Structure 1
Amino acid sequence: MKILVLNAGSSSIKYQVFAMATAEVLLKGVIERIGEAGSDVPTHHQALQHVAQHLQAQGLEINAIGHRVVHGGEHFQQPVVIDATVVAAIRAMIPLAPLHNPANLAGIEVAQQLFPQVLQVAVFDTAFHQTMPPVAFRYAVPAAWYQQHQVRRYGFHGTSHQYVMQQAAAYLQCDVSGFNAITLHLGNGCSATAIAGGQSVDTSMGMTPLEGLVMGTRSGDLDPALHFYLERELALPATALEPLLNKHSGLKGLCGVGDMREVQTRAMAGDTDAQLAEALFVYRIKKYIGAYMAVLGRVDALIFTGGIGEHSARIREQVCANLQSLGISLDSVRNQQPCSSIVECQQAGAALKVLVVPTNEEWAIALSTAAFG
C-alpha cells in the first residue's frame, strides 16, 4: 500500500509518499510561494498538478491520501474518510482557524479533483485533545459564547503529541492505557500536553495556536486586557493585533529573531535580549511542567520532541534544571547524545524518565490513513 500525505498551507504544499509495508519514504517534496508575486505556481490546483506529475514521473500509483487538517473543532475526535459532509464541516470551522483551514480545504478539494478514485482521509491536529474534560477546555466566560460560538480550548499538535506518547510507551514497554506523561513539542510552534492513561487531559494551546508557551513568532499566554490597552494607547485596530501577536511576537518580538538556533548563538555571545528570550522560553515551559505535574499526580515520562526539543541539548538542560523535587534529574552526558532515535536523558536510578522522542507527523498521518484501507 502506498500513501500520499499532504500538508497544504496557505502558500505551500509539503508531500511525502510512504510504502506502508516497509515504512520507506518513496518520494517527498515541497512546493512553496504558491500564489505569491513572481511565483510560477499561482494556485493550489497547479501545485497539486506538479505533485501528480512528480508521482507519474516516478511511476508511483498511490492507494490513499492522508490530509493534515489543523482544526476539527468538536466534530472530529478521530481521523475520518473525507466525504461531502466532512468537507462542509471543515469549511464551517474556518472562523476558528482562518489562517489554516482554508488552505487545508483547498488541498482536499483539489486532490479530490485530481485523484477522484483514491481514498482520502482527514487527520486533525485537534482530535487527540478532544478527550480533555470541560474543566480543562472551557473558558470562564459567558456560557452562551461556548454554546453558540464554540468558544473553548481545542489544543493543537495533537498528531505529534499522540505519536511520541505511543512511541515512548512502546519503548518503555508500558500499556498505553496506564501511561502518564508530559509531552513537550518544541519547534517554531510549541505546546505542552498532559497525558493520563494515554489520553490528553490538558494542553497549552487554546482556541487557537496562540495560547500557551512562548514560540518563534507567537506570544503565548497574555493578559487578555492587553488588547484593550493597545487599542487605546496605540490606536491599533483589532485586525492589526492578530498578525502582531502571531507573526511578530515570541522570540522574534523579544530579540528580533524567531529561530532558536540564532537566539542561542546570540545569547552565548552575550546579547542580553537573546538571553532574555531564551530564559523566558524556558521559564514558561517549566511553569507548564509544574502545573501538569499537579494535574496528573503521577508522571512516568517527560518527553521532548520537535525541532528544538529533539536537537537542543541546551534547552533540555535548562528546562530540567532544579526540578529534582519533581523527580526530574537530567544526566548531562546522556543529554548530549544524538537523537536520531529515542534517547533516555535521566540520571541512573531516576523514577521519572526523561526521553527525547523524534516526532514524525507525516508517518503518523499515513498510519491513520492506512487504517481505513
Structure 2
Amino acid sequence: MKKNLILVLNCGSSSLKFSLIRPENGETLLSGLAERLLSEQASIKIKVRGQKNHRALPRPFDHQTAIMTLVETLALQQLNLQIFAIGHRVVHGGEHYCMPTLVTEEVKNTINNLSQLAPLHNPANLIGINAAEAVFNDVPQVAVFDTAFHQTMPEKAYIYGIPYSLYQEHGIRRYGFHGTSHYFVAQQAAKILDKAINKSNFISAHLGNGCSVTAIKNGESVDTSLGLTPLEGVMMGTRSGDVDPGIIFHLINQLGYTAAQVSHLLHKESGLLGVSGLSNDCREIEESWLTNKNPRAKLALDIFCYRVAKSIASFTASLTSIDALIFTGGIGENSTLIRAGIIGQLSLLNFFVANDKNQACCFGKAGNINTDISRPILVIPTNEEWVIAEQTSQLLSNNTSIKE
C-alpha cells in the first residue's frame, strides 16, 4: 500500500487537533480534536469518511492517550499504513528556522530553548512531537513553524526601539505568527487574481481568537502586527494587543499587581472579553449588541474594528501598491458585521464593501466582497493544515536520506 498521506498534529497544552491529509490536493480523509486533556473530562472527536465519533478518553487522559486513540481509528480504517510522515505545527522558531525542518534531538532542544519566547505554545508543541515519536517511531517527524513566513521582514520592521544589545544577546525582536495562514491565503489570492505570487502585494487580516495583520510584498512578509510574542498588535479575543508599556508599571507600582497577575490580565482577561465583560467569542458579543443593544458589546466591536482598520492602514507604508485586502480566520471568514465595520473605515484607501457579496461569503465560502469601484477585497478560508502537510511532503520528497 502506497504511503502518500501526511498526519498533521497541532498540539496545545490541553488539546490536540489532527488531520490526515493528501498533500497534493488538500483532501482531508480524517480530522478531529482531543480536548480537556489532563482532566477527567478529556474527550476526543474524530471525523472519518463522513462519520463522526465523540467519546471520553481513558486514563491517564494525556496527549499520548489521545494519539493512541487516534492510532486505533487509523488502524481500523487501514489508514495508518498510508502515513508517509507527521507534520507538527510549532509556534516559535525564532531566527533558527525559516523553513520546515526534520525533527532531531537538536531541533527539539532548540524548540525547548525557544519556550522562553512562547511559554504557552512551544512546550505543548514538544509534547505532541514526543508523543507522536513514541507511537510512530519509524515515521519521519517534521516541524513547520508559525514564525517562518515572517523571516523575510527587513530589520526596520522587526527591530524594537530599545537597546540593540537586547536583540544581539537575547533575541528580543519582532517575530510574527500565523505565518502558515498568511502564506496560504496569499497563495490563494494570487491564483484568484491570476497574478504571479512573486509579483503580488496584499494586506492579510487573520482574525480569530488570536489576530494578526500582515503586509505581503511580492509574495513575502515584510511586516506583521504580532511581535516577540502573540500579545502585540490588534485587540484579540482575550489578549489586549498594543498597550502603553507604562500601564504595566502602573499596575505593579501603584495598584499592587504582581508580574504574573499582569501577564494573566493582558493574555486572558483583556481584548473582546475585557471590554465587553461578556465573552471572548465574537458571535456572542455581536448577538448581545444586535439583540439587546448592549453598549459594552458595541464598544468592544467598535474598538476591534478600529484597531484592525488602523493596522491595515499603517501597513500601506510597507507597500507601493495593493492588489487585494484579504480576510481569513474564524472571524474574518464568517463575521459580516466585523468585515463591514473594518472596511467602512478604509474608504481613503479605496476599499468599499458590497453588502450582498459580504453576506454571501460565510461558512467556508470564498469570494470577493468589494463594490465595482473598490480595490479587491477577498474572503479566503485558511487551511494551515494543508500548508503543513504540503511543506512536510515537499521537504521529505527533496531529502534523499528519507526513504518511504
Q: How far apart are the structure 1 equivalents of 2:134 and 2:73?
A: 17
Moved more, 178-187 or 313-322: 313-322
Aligned AA for 1:2? L
Aligned counterpart for 1:260 among listed residues 262, 265, 282:
282
Deviation per residue, 1:39-62 (Å, 9 max, x gap): 444322222222222211221121
TM-score with structure 2 setting the length: 0.89
| 1:174-323 matches, cutoff 5 A | 174-256=195-277, 257-268=279-290, 269-323=292-346
Q: What residue number does 1:129 align with? A: 150
Question: Which residue identity is paired with 1:312?
Answer: S
- 8 Å contact 1:41–1:47 — kept in the other structure? no
In the alignment, is the contact (CA less than 8 A) between 2:361 and 2:379 conserved in 1?
no
Equivalent position of 2:64 in the other structure: 45
What does residue 348 of structure 1 align with? 372
Shift of 1:131: 0.6
CA contact (8 A) 2:8 2:87 kept: yes
Deviating more after overlay: 13-22 vs 182-191: 13-22
CA contact (8 A) 2:309 2:345 kept: no
Q: Is the 8 A contact 1:185 1:309 kept in 2?
A: yes
The separation in 1 between residues aligned to 2:166 and 2:117, in whole angstroms, is 13
Query: Structure 2 stretches of 5 or more lacking a match?
Result: 43-58, 398-404
Q: Counterpart of 2:69 in structure 1: which amino acid?
A: H
Match of 1:117 in 2: 138
- The count of residues paired between Structure 1 and Structure 2 equals 372
Counterpart in the other structure of 1:36: 39
Q: Distance in 2 between matches of 1:38 and 1:265?
A: 29
Please give the secondary structure, in 2, of the residue aligned with 1:63.
Answer: strand
Distance (Å, rounded) in 1 between the aligned partners of 2:70 and 2:388 = 18
2:98 aligned with 1:77, yes or no?
A: yes
Query: CA offset at residue 23 of structure 1?
Result: 3.0
Please give the root-mean-square deviation of Cα atoms over the aligned residues, in Å.
1.3
Change in CA separation of 1:295 and 1:22 when aligned onto 2, cut-off 3 Å: closer
Check conservation: 2:10, 2:89, Cα contact below 8 A. yes
Q: CA deviation at 1:165?
A: 0.4
What is the CA distance between 1:234 and its match in structure 2? Answer: 2.0
The residue type paired with residue 300 of structure 2 is A
Give the superposition deviation at 1:22: 4.9
Q: What amino acid is aligned across from residue 306 of structure 1 in structure 2?
A: G
Counterparts of 1:295 and 1:146 in 2: how far apart (Å)? Answer: 22
CA distance in 1, matches of 2:337, 2:111: 40
Q: What SS is found at the alignment partner of 2:31?
A: strand
For residues 136-158 of structure 1, the C-alpha deviation after alignment (integer angstroms, 9 at most, x for no partner) is 10111111211111111110000
TM superposition score normalised by structure 1:
0.97
Counterpart contact for 2:306–2:345, Cα < 8 Å: no
Please list the CA deviations of residues 121-177 of structure 1 after superposition, one character each: whole Å capped at 9, or x if unmatched: 111000000111111101111112111111111100000001000000011111111
Match of 2:162 among 141, 146, 149: 141
Secondary structure of the corresponding residue to residue 390 of structure 2: helix
The separation in 2 between residues aligned to 1:20 and 1:192, in whole angstroms, is 27
Of 335-344 and 105-114, the range deviating more from structure 2: 335-344
1:326 aligns with 349
Letter in 2 for 1:291: S
Could you tell me how far apart the structure 2 residues matched to 1:32 and 1:41 are? Answer: 13
**Contact 1:181 1:299 survives alignment (8 Å):** yes
Q: Output the amino acid matched with 2:212.
A: S
